[in-house]
Amino acid sequence: MSDAAADQPVSTPVDSSRRTWIAITCGAGAVGGVAAAVPFVSSFAPSERARAAGAPVQVDISGLKPGEKLTVEWRGKPVWIVRRTPEQVAALPKIDAELADPQSKRKPDELTPAYARNEARSIKPEFFVGVGICSHLGCSPSDKFTPGPQPSLPDNWQGGFLCPCHGSTFDLAGRVFKNKPAPDNLEVPPHMYLSDSVVLIGEDKKA
Ligand code: FES
Each residue of 98-133: pLDDT tens digit? 999 999 999 999 999 999 999 999 999 999 999 999
Q: How far is ligand 1, taken at its centre, from the CA of residue 207, in Å? A: 38
Closest CA to 69 of 127, 137, 7: 127
In a domain, 154, yes or no: yes
pLDDT at 165 over 70: yes
Looking at the chain, list the stretches that DSSP marks H as alpha helix, in order from N- to C-terminal side.
3-6, 16-27, 33-37, 46-52, 86-91, 108-111
Q: How far is ligand 1, taken at its centre, from the CA of residue 76, in Å? A: 19
In a domain, 26, yes or no: yes
In a domain, 207, yes or no: no
Tally of structural domains, the chain: 1
Which CATH number goes with the domain that contains 75? 2.102.10.10
| pLDDT at residue 51, as a whole number | 63
**What is the rounded distance in angstroms from the CA atom of residue 71 to the CA atom of residue 104?**
23
| pLDDT at residue 10, as a whole number | 54
Residue 103: domain span? 3-201
Q: How far is ligand 1, taken at its centre, from the CA of residue 168, in Å? A: 6
In a domain, 206, yes or no: no
What is the residue with the minimal CA distance to atom 2 of ligand 1? 166
